[in-house]
Amino acid sequence: MNMVNVTIDIDAKATNKLIDVLAEAFSPATEALAALGDVVRLARTPLAAAITRRTKEIADESGLRLVLPPLKFLVPYFEKASIQDASSMVLSEMWARLLATAGCNYDERMVRFTSLLSELSTQQAKILNEVATNFGGTIDDRGFELVRQDFVKYDIKKFIREMYATNHAEAFDKLLSFVGRPGVSVARIEFGIENLHDEQYAWTRDPTYSDDRRLDFEMLVSMGLLLYISTDFIAQDAEGAGVAMECYALTELGYALWSACTAVA
């Protein structure tokens, strides 16, 4: 996949100006382009133009015709996109794909997406994508519905309480079959007697979660993009043996933002 090249000479020719690039990407040009030129002054930057050129590349690669989204979307979009971290190719690509998505299938809720995307750091953007594609998969509409059903409608604590297993290894496998999927990131699974955990079955294998990323995970939770779930310690038998688990799952908002910024339909 090509990425946005943000190393651009600040003395770029006039053809690099945002309105010129927009007119090329969203052809035929409309009166909205002239209005946009009057309103969005900070967006006349090489970065905004580079993102828009990448949007056109995405559309051309997919054989799509872009329709210019309304000013209500374009004004905040370019104001925010043009002041992002110019060194972040990850974020630049997400901005380009959001514009392409809006040009193909605009929804008024995408105005909110511009604010959410502008709040993400490069690390947080990577985490959002990694959660959605965790365990070597890629979440889709049907896959997300299963995640939402399991982690919102269906109480994960209930799953653990009703989980029957004759030993820790069997219980561990059952729990992994439930949480080891795209759209979920596991922070902790521990088996044993409360405060005396069986290290053999402590979770250490999630490819997305690590302790040094926890603050970024928590920030994604505060933005409403991830859901944090902690079961605390749930006893499984009369001897007090049980399990404790922590995980993060995509919310409906998180999935919608990720979809709009990664895939173009």
145 plus 246 within the same structural domain = yes
pLDDT digits (tens, 9 = 90+) for 216-264: 999 999 999 999 988 877 776 655 567 788 889 999 999 999 999 997 6
Report pLDDT for 73. 93
Residues composing the chain: 265
Which residue, 49, 80, 112, sits at the end of a domain?
112
Q: Is residue 85 part of a domain?
A: yes
From CA 23, how far away is CA 38, in angstroms rounded? Answer: 15
**pLDDT class for 162, splitting at 50, 70, 90?**
confident
State the residue range of the domain holding 162.
131-255
Q: Is residue 159 part of a domain?
A: yes
242 plus 145 within the same structural domain = yes
Which residue, 78, 112, 146, sits at the end of a domain?
112
Report pLDDT for 7. 40
Please check the confidence at residue 54 and state whether its pLDDT lies above 80: yes
**pLDDT class for 163, splitting at 50, 70, 90?**
confident
Q: Report the share of the chain in percent with pLDDT over 90.
A: 34
245 plus 140 within the same structural domain = yes
**Number of domains within the chain:** 2
Cis geometry, peptide bond prior to residue 207 (ω within 30 degrees of 0): no
What is the amino acid identity at position 223? M
141 plus 84 within the same structural domain = no
Q: Is residue 126 part of a domain?
A: no
Half-sphere exposure of 219 (CA within 13 A, CB side): 15
Report pLDDT for 190. 79
pLDDT digits (tens, 9 = 90+) for 77-121: 988 998 888 788 999 999 999 999 999 999 999 999 999 999 999
**pLDDT class for 40, splitting at 50, 70, 90?**
low
pLDDT digits (tens, 9 = 90+) for 141-158: 777 887 787 776 667 777
**132 close to 183: Cβ distance less than 8 angstroms:** yes
Q: Is residue 5 part of a domain?
A: no
Q: Is residue 4 part of a domain?
A: no
Closest CA to 124 of 4, 210, 220, 253: 220
163 plus 203 within the same structural domain = yes
- Phi, psi at residue 157, to the nearest 5°? -65, -35
Angstrom CA distances, 230 to 26, 73, 133, 160, 242, stand at 47, 37, 22, 12, 14
Which residue, 82, 112, 142, sits at the end of a domain?
112
Q: Is residue 261 part of a domain?
A: no
- 56-65, 87-96, 144-153, 181-190: which has the minimum mean pLDDT? 144-153
- 106-110, 158-162, 169-173, 193-197: which has the minimum mean pLDDT? 193-197
**pLDDT class for 16, splitting at 50, 70, 90?**
very low
Report pLDDT for 5. 46
**116 close to 80: Cβ distance less than 8 angstroms:** no
135 plus 250 within the same structural domain = yes
From CA 137, how far away is CA 130, in angstroms rounded? Answer: 10
